[in-house]
């Protein structure tokens, strides 16, 4: 129900604006660009009021809006603000380095104070920069997608939100859970939800009657007016919650089905729903408690979410004002015109790489030259090698990105390149017997080069059997997998070191706010909401959001604590063989990592997955109980991942000015819907004939669940001590833990020695260690990321900032949405009906024609295995 009278979505207060200079263009044409003669937007004279603007990394529109506030920003105030800006963004790769250097000159050069007339251009530029940072955002990418004004009369939680949001959440939960065990799988991303829900919102705005009532001076009605941007964002947030299939489904499948652990308790609905609700709401509560660390601060950008905001802005507040762009043209197209054109083109193009010409996805042209050459395949193949290929794909779904900052993409590429050199060294020196296995594989092998059969080392109760283990084989891994683990270990110490070392100032402010809030709550003091306008820890978006009643921390804390209790009940009330304490230990794990991992993700858009560390610690604690290890992983790693997913949506609501309590409600309702829908679907799935076997109906092979089961036995039953402990082959890989610490401290030290080095400042150690992961990416795929990112973020953004700000994120979102919708249509048309197109373009050699020949050394016939003899295993 809406809480206000009918309104127009375009009646909101106007943002700071200016009288645009006339730019000649043909108003009779509606096109993306036209060749014109551009009049100088700032006039002909290069006086002070014009020249200083070249120093600013901002669009003309943003600069002119800031100039209107110059009387409120005297030089002394600018110095106070910019001193905080420098302290906060000193290590921030998203903040323009040239601007940071000018701030340093403005603050530290005594000549600027002594001779202000001589430095009038710099002083004026810095006053405007201070306004941009406090009245807008310090980042150009945010300024281009997020409005700096808000109309509090626009309703957010309306009848349309409940109708569309609940339906889309149910649909997303049903489809994503149903097809998550199918190969190939199919899903509905949030960009598609935003696209398809908009016309439904407009439709309901036209057909719903204006029935309602007035209570305490407020009008509550079924139809409060046009479908608005806040309603739309509430729908997206609710649907986003339903998009993620709960991790509990993997545990249920593996514990319940007869081909795995075959536990009867896992089929009980109470066990399923209590643990599903516990993990979902544990992440939800933790996300709310982490808001002052990961949502409210301006430096927590979450770049990927800007695409959703740009599309939302296109739907509800689009503009087609003239802006200069490539080719010396003026572009007048709106965001949505570009979106629809791009979407349609990608929808039809994606039929080629996805169905009719698969070689466009893996353009493995170098390996085709000699398909049986093992060394060529190892180096150049996209599927079975490193993928060193100048252009390896023409499939947007695999190798392109426009939403991640350059420093992050390049750092990830550097990490993958360096780790690739280590892989080559391991493989071609036969380190750890890797030459007997494929160079690139994420599987675990036995000493005969076959996939490791975990059932050969466990008894009828699924517990470790030493006699069977000694008779069978030790686990062996390919060179690529060993390097993956090495850098996984390095990544975990790197992220714990990086966050406090590089973001201590920001974290200190957040911790101080947390302690103050807790003290006020305990002492029953009223929370003081006055915000210092010069305290740049909170930008204009935070100040606007403070006008709404906040969702109190105790709400989230109550959800958090209740979820822990529910989790303990879900573990203890059933014969899981696991102590409820594992829920507490897992929660402590999440509390330790959620802030450092969240800070890195918010700044660098780099995903730090904690599954390996959770398996490592859980395996050490479980004492050979695989199911116990799974519970620790679920309540540790999954809680952290869920929490950060909720944080992303909270940031969406923060940027879109959705009232905090509305965000709380839609996330809470979405979590409930997702839990009950997915639990019902997974019970239905388990009734399918042959589900998760070699011959299932509807291709429900459950490849992910098989991997989950193998990891359960590998880490939980066999245990990390046998794989990585002292005396094992792989104990030296534990050097990855100190390696991560050394890398962070080393780069930090070099940056302090050469603080003006652009190269050193762009290095992000956590992104480097994250980029070293080789599956499903290869070096070639990362290379296309680098090329497209440099084209967008470095060439286009530096030359045509206004053009880039308007179109970059919308273009990226349109490409992704086109791929998603096209994939769904092709799935229903061909894959679901088992229609295949067999020809060279779909069956082109992927690099190594015969899998058994993709090994440098063949297994010796005598004794028929490699490594230690049976009976001598660690």
Residue range 212-239, pLDDT digits in tens:
788 777 777 889 999 999 999 999 999 9
CB atoms within 10 A of CB 183: 13
Write out the two tokens for 758.
Answer: 């652009």
Assigned domain for 95 exists: yes
Give, as one character, the DSSP assignment of residue 158.
-
Element (H, E) at 674: helix 660-685
Element (H, E) at 331: strand 329-331
> How many folded domains does the chain comprise?
2
Residue range 442-468, pLDDT digits in tens:
888 999 999 888 889 888 877 888 999
Write out the two tokens for 521.
Answer: 């709550």
Alpha helices in 762-800 (DSSP H): 765-771, 779-789, 797-799
- What is the spatial distance between Cα 509 and Cα 298, in angstroms, rounded to a whole number? 13
Residue range 384-422, pLDDT digits in tens:
789 898 888 898 887 677 999 999 999 999 999 999 999
Least Cα distance to 689 among 698, 678, 702, 679 occurs for 698
- What is the spatial distance between Cα 277 and Cα 299, in angstroms, rounded to a whole number? 32
Assigned domain for 417 exists: yes
Assigned domain for 273 exists: no
Element (H, E) at 824: helix 801-826
* N-terminal to C-terminal alpha carbon distance within the chain: 66
Residues paired with 458 in a beta bridge? 464
Measured in whole angstroms, the distance separating CA 414 from the mean position of its chain's CA atoms is 20
Q: Which residue has the higher pLDDT, 3 or 205?
A: 205
Give the rounded percent of residues in the chain with a pLDDT score beyond 70: 91
DSSP letters spanning 92-107: -TTS-HHHHHHHHHHH
753-760 long-range contacts (CB < 8 A, ≥24 apart) are 756/101, 758/97
- What is the spatial distance between Cα 497 and Cα 475, in angstroms, rounded to a whole number? 32
* Contact yes or no for 619/519 (Cβ under 8 A): no
Give the end of a domain, one of 136, 171, 186.
Answer: 136
| Confidence check: pLDDT of 12 > 50 | no
Give the end of a domain, one of 108, 136, 164.
Answer: 136
- What is the spatial distance between Cα 434 and Cα 426, in angstroms, rounded to a whole number? 7
* Contact yes or no for 503/604 (Cβ under 8 A): no
* Contact yes or no for 741/489 (Cβ under 8 A): no
* Contact yes or no for 663/237 (Cβ under 8 A): yes
Measured in whole angstroms, the distance separating CA 360 from the mean position of its chain's CA atoms is 26
Assigned domain for 122 exists: yes
Residue range 642-683, pLDDT digits in tens:
999 999 999 999 999 999 999 999 999 999 999 999 999 999
The Cβ-side half-sphere exposure at 471, using a 13 Å CA radius, reads: 10
Burial class for 320, CB neighbours closer than 10 Å (0-12, 13-18, 19+)? middle
Element (H, E) at 243: helix 229-243
How high is the pLDDT of residue 699?
81
Whether a cis peptide bond, with omega within 30° of 0, leads into 776 is yes
Length of the chain (residues): 874
Question: Residue 441, SS3?
Answer: coil
| Confidence check: pLDDT of 528 > 70 | no
Residues paired with 221 in a beta bridge? 2, 212
Assigned domain for 579 exists: no
Residue range 763-817, pLDDT digits in tens:
999 999 999 887 767 888 889 999 999 999 999 999 999 999 999 999 999 999 9
Determine the number of helices (DSSP H) and then strands (DSSP E) in the chain: 38, 7
| Confidence check: pLDDT of 46 > 50 | no
Question: Residue 309, SS3?
Answer: helix
- Report the predicted TM-score, pTM, of the whole model to 2 decimal places: 0.90
616-623 long-range contacts (CB < 8 A, ≥24 apart) are 616/715, 616/720, 616/724, 617/589, 618/715, 618/716, 619/715, 619/716, 619/719, 619/720, 619/721, 620/719, 620/720, 620/721, 621/582, 621/585, 622/716, 622/719
Assigned domain for 15 exists: no
Q: Is the dihedral of CA 141, 147, 149, 150 positive or negative?
A: negative
Q: Token pair 């096209």 is at which residue?
A: 822
Residue range 310-340, pLDDT digits in tens:
999 999 988 888 999 998 899 999 999 999 9
With a CB cutoff of 8 Å and minimum separation 6, the contacts of 87 are 505
Element (H, E) at 264: none
How high is the pLDDT of residue 340?
95
Q: Which of 520-529, 653-662, 697-706 has the lowest mean pLDDT?
A: 520-529
| Confidence check: pLDDT of 185 > 80 | no
| Confidence check: pLDDT of 692 > 50 | yes
Residue range 503-519, pLDDT digits in tens:
988 888 888 777 777 77
How high is the pLDDT of residue 525?
66
CA dihedral 681, 683, 688, 692 (to 10 degrees): 100
How high is the pLDDT of residue 853?
61
With a CB cutoff of 8 Å and minimum separation 6, the contacts of 222 are 1, 2, 159, 208, 209, 210, 211, 212
Query: What is the arrangement of strands in the sheet containing 329-331, beginning at the earlier edge strand?
Result: 34-35, 329-331, 323-325
| Cα–Cα distance list, 829 to 188, 360, 564 (Å) | 17, 20, 45
Element (H, E) at 522: helix 479-522
Question: Residue 719, SS3?
Answer: coil
Alpha helices in 725-772 (DSSP H): 736-753, 758-761, 765-771
* Contact yes or no for 415/487 (Cβ under 8 A): yes
Domain extent for 100: 44-136
Q: What is the mean pLDDT of the chain?
A: 87
Alpha helices in 303-442 (DSSP H): 305-316, 335-349, 351, 365-369, 374-380, 396-399, 406-428
With a CB cutoff of 8 Å and minimum separation 6, the contacts of 178 are 681, 685
pLDDT band at 18 (very low <50, low <70, confident <90, very high): very low
Least Cα distance to 585 among 627, 635, 622 occurs for 635
266-270 long-range contacts (CB < 8 A, ≥24 apart) are 267/683, 267/686, 268/574, 269/679, 269/683, 270/573, 270/574
Angle between helix axes 305-316 and 229-243 (nearest 10 degrees) is: 140
Assigned domain for 130 exists: yes
Assigned domain for 18 exists: no
The CA radius of gyration of the chain, in Å to the nearest whole number, is: 28
Q: Cα angle at 379 between 378 and 382, to 5 degrees?
A: 80
Question: Residue 464, SS3?
Answer: strand
Write out the two tokens for 746.
Answer: 């080393």
Measured in whole angstroms, the distance separating CA 629 from the mean position of its chain's CA atoms is 26
Give the end of a domain, one of 110, 136, 162.
Answer: 136
């Amino acid at each position: 129900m809406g809480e206000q009278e009918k309104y127009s979505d375009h009646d909101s207060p106007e943002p700071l604006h200016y009288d645009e200079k006339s730019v000649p263009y043909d108003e009779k044409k509606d096109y993306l660009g036209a060749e014109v003669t551009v009049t100088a937007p700032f006039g002909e004279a290069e006086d002070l009021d014009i020249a200083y603007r070249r120093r600013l990394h901002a669009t003309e529109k943003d600069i002119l809006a800031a100039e209107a506030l110059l009387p409120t920003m005297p030089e002394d105030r600018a110095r106070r603000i910019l001193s905080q800006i420098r302290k906060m963004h000193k290590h921030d790769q998203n903040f323009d380095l040239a601007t940071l250097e000018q701030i340093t000159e403005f603050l530290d050069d005594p000549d600027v104070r002594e001779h202000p007339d001589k430095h009038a251009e710099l002083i004026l530029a810095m006053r405007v920069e201070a306004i941009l940072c406090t009245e807008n955002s310090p980042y150009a990418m945010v300024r281009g997608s997020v409005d700096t004004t808000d109309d509090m009369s626009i309703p957010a939680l309306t009848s349309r939100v409940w109708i569309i949001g609940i339906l889309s959440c149910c649909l997303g939960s049903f489809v994503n859970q149903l097809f998550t065990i199918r190969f190939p799988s199919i899903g509905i991303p949030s960009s598609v939800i935003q696209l398809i829900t908009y016309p439904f919102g407009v439709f309901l705005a036209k057909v719903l009657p204006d029935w309602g009532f007035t209570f305490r001076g407020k009008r509550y009605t079924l139809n409060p007016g046009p479908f608005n941007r806040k309603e739309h964002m509430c729908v997206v947030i609710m649907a986003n919650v339903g998009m993620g299939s709960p991790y509990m489904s993997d545990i249920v499948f593996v514990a319940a089905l007869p081909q795995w652990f075959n536990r009867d308790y896992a089929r009980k609905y109470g066990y399923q729903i209590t643990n599903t609700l516990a993990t979902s709401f544990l992440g939800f509560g933790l996300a709310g408690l982490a808001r002052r660390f990961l949502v409210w601060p301006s430096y927590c950008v979450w770049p990927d979410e800007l695409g959703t905001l740009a599309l939302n802005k296109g739907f509800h507040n689009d503009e087609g004002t003239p802006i200069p762009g490539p080719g010396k043209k003026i572009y007048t197209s709106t965001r949505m015109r570009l979106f629809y054109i791009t979407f349609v083109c990608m929808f039809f193009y994606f039929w080629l790489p996805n169905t009719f010409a698969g070689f466009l996805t893996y353009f493995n042209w170098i390996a085709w030259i000699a398909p049986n050459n093992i060394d060529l395949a190892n180096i150049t193949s996209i599927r079975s090698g490193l993928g060193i290929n100048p252009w390896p794909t023409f499939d947007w779904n695999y190798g392109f990105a426009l939403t991640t900052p350059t420093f992050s993409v390049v750092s990830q590429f550097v990490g993958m390149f360096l780790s690739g050199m280590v892989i080559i060294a391991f493989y071609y020196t036969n380190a750890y017997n890797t030459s007997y296995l494929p160079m690139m594989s994420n599987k675990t092998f036995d000493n005969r080069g076959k996939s490791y059969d975990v059932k050969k080392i466990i008894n009828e109760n699924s517990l470790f059997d030493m006699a069977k283990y000694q008779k069978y084989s030790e686990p062996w891994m390919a060179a690529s997998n060993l390097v993956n683990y090495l850098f996984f270990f390095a990544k975990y110490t790197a992220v714990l070191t990086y966050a406090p070392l590089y973001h201590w100032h920001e974290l200190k402010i957040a911790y101080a706010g947390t302690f103050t809030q807790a003290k006020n709550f305990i002492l029953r003091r009223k929370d003081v909401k006055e915000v210092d306008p010069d305290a740049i820890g909170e930008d204009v978006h935070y100040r606007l959001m403070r006008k709404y009643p906040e969702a109190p921390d105790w709400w989230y804390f109550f959800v958090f604590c209740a979820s822990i209790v529910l989790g303990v009940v879900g573990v203890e009330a059933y014969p899981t063989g696991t102590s409820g304490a594992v829920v507490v230990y897992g929660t402590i794990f999440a509390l330790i990592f959620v802030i450092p991992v969240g800070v890195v993700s918010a700044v660098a858009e780099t995903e730090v997955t904690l599954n390996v560390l959770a398996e490592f610690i859980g395996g050490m604690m479980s004492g050979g109980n695989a199911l116990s290890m799974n519970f620790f992983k679920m309540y540790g790693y999954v809680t952290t991942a869920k929490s950060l997913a909720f944080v992303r949506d909270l940031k969406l609501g923060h940027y879109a000015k959705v009232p905090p309590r509305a965000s709380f409600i839609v996330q809470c309702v979405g979590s409930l819907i997702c839990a009950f829908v997915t639990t019902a679907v997974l019970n239905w799935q388990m009734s399918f004939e042959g589900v998760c076997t070699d011959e299932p109906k509807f291709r429900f092979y459950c490849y992910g669940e098989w991997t989950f089961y193998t990891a359960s036995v590998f880490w939980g039953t066999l245990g990390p001590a046998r794989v990585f402990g002292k005396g094992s082959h792989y104990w030296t890989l534990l050097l990855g833990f100190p390696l991560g610490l050394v890398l962070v401290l080393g780069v930090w030290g070099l940056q302090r020695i050469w603080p003006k080095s652009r190269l050193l400042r762009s290095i992000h150690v956590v992104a480097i260690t994250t980029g070293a992961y080789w599956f499903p990416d290869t070096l070639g795929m990362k290379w296309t990321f680098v090329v497209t990112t440099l084209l967008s973020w470095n060439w286009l953004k530096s030359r045509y900032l206004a053009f880039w700000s308007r179109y970059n994120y919308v273009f990226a979102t349109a490409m992704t949405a086109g791929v998603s919708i096209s994939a769904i249509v092709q799935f229903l048309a061909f894959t679901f009906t088992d229609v295949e197109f067999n020809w060279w373009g779909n069956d082109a050699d992927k690099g190594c024609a015969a899998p058994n020949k993709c090994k440098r050394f063949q297994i010796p016939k005598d004794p028929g295995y490699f490594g230690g003899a049976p009976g001598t295993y660690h």
